[in-house]
A and B are shown apart, each in its own frame.
Chain A
Amino acid sequence: MAEQAQIYDVIMVGAGPAALAAAVYTTREDIETLLIEKGAVGGLAAITDWVDNYPGFAKGISGLDLAAQLEGQAERFGAKIKLGEVQKISTDGDLKRVTTNDGDLLAKTVLIATGTDYKKLGIPGEQELYGRGVHYCATCDGAFYRDKRLVVVGGGNSAVQEALFLTKFASHIDMLVRSDVRASEILQHELAKNAKITVHLNTSTEGIIGENNKVVKVLGTKDGQKTEFETDGVFVFIGLKPNTVFLSDSPQIELDEVGFVRSDANLQTTMPGVFVAGDVRSGATMQIAAAVGEGATAALRVREYLEHLERHSTEASHYVADQA
């Protein structure tokens, strides 16, 4: 059942950079805005140790500080953030019904901005030793490995960035990269300069071994030869998966073959009145700056949709966004 009669102008699913940027725009237009977040406000940006490529911060900024700034700015204009989990989005006449773990909410429009999460390896030992040497958040748990040996799995921007962060604590890091390092040039230069990190290319990660409930070694294959890496812990950064499981009961919202949300050029999904922005959008570039830009664009599309609803309250399904 719906909670009382409150109808939000827009409910944003997620409270990462895309949604927080969108909320700055919508709230400044007096558009009643609710964000629903199940993880960390600020999303993956909040658990990134340092952000050097977000324009406007000449010296860079920590992910946690950037998240706090984005949140504070959105809240300054009246955005409300609710902690909870969205389970379904459906239509209810001209409205959208957002089913959460805490009841149903109604809105005129919805913005999906749930972002992505780190993939798991899916190898023996990973799940069993989670929190006992297997980690996915360097900024959270890196401090437990002062003067210890670590393995970092992955070769993209996140893996290199977080491996560099972990050298603040660890005595040595073996970085296991399935093929080649695919990080930005500047990160690759930093990596090459760092004497604490040994990069192992063409190395697959196949198992994690524990003793006394703690990680002691990682099994892999390097250049076709079985190999082992003694370690005190493993941090995994092997790519991103879209946070769209909650849409499995919302078939009107089409996903691509990998699970990202499809949209048109106006960031509208296949359910009219439901928009998408940020990393979870099919075709997204996985950059905080891009997510923020998409959030601002989506907010303008939301405003246009709301204006359209006011003008043609029964014709929402025929909405075509005005070209800005």
Chain B
Amino acid sequence: MAKTITIYTTNTCAYCVMVKKWLKSKGLGYQEVNLEEHPERQAEMMQLSGQMAVPVTVVADKDSDYLNITVGWNPAKLASAVADMPVASAA
């Protein structure tokens, strides 16, 4: 099991807050990329998601290199993406 979670956010995005809150409620760690603080990473987010909209949550499986990408606040899709992750995993 080697999955990590990365969330792409902006400063005033309420749905980004919801994703972070949901992950915390599940005891899951994550790395946050604030695209206003790191505009140089916007292209990376757009390439991953195909969109210019946040939040984007990327669950990366390091064993298989598979990326599960969720655009927006979609708890059902997030639940499926992290279903086999142990709680309190490191980001």
Q: Please determine whether A83 and B53 come into contact, CB atoms closer than 8 angstroms.
A: no
Interface residues of B in 12-65 (CB under 8 A from A): 12-18, 21-22, 25, 35-36, 39, 42, 49-55
In the bound complex, do residue A40 and residue B53 qualify as a contact, i.e. CB atoms below 8 Å apart? Answer: no
Cβ B12 vs Cβ A49 within 8 A? yes
A58 to B13, CA, bound (A): 24
Once the chains bind, are B22 and A140 in contact (CB under 8 Å)? no
Interface size counted on chain A using CB atoms at 8 A? 29
- Is A40 a contact partner of B12 (Cβ separation < 8 A)? no
Q: Tally B residues with Cβ within 8 Å of A.
A: 27
Flag whether B76 is at the interface (Cβ < 8 A): yes
B86 on the A face (CB < 8 A): no
- Decide yes or no whether A101 CB sits under 8 A from chain B: yes
Instruction: Give the docked Cα–Cα distance between A63 and B73 (Å).
Output: 18
A140's contact among B39, B53, B76, by CB below 8 Å, is which? B53
B91 to chain A, nearest CB (A): 21
Greatest chain B CB density within 10 A among A46, A67, A83, A144 is at A144
Least CB distance from A32 to B in Å reads 20
CB distance from A134 to the nearest CB of B (A): 9
CA A143 to CA B54, docked complex, whole Å: 10
* In contact, A141 and B73 (Cβ under 8 angstroms): no
Q: Enumerate chain B interface residues (CB-CB to A < 8 A).
A: 10-18, 21-22, 25, 35-36, 39, 42, 49-55, 71, 73, 75-76
A-B contact pairs, 15 of them (CB 8 A): A40-B18, A47-B15, A62-B12, A67-B14, A83-B18, A83-B22, A83-B75, A131-B53, A135-B52, A139-B14, A141-B52, A141-B53, A142-B10, A143-B35, A144-B42
Known contacts A40-B15, A141-B53; 12 additional CB pairs below 8 A are A39-B73, A41-B18, A63-B14, A67-B14, A83-B18, A101-B76, A131-B71, A133-B52, A135-B52, A139-B12, A141-B10, A143-B36
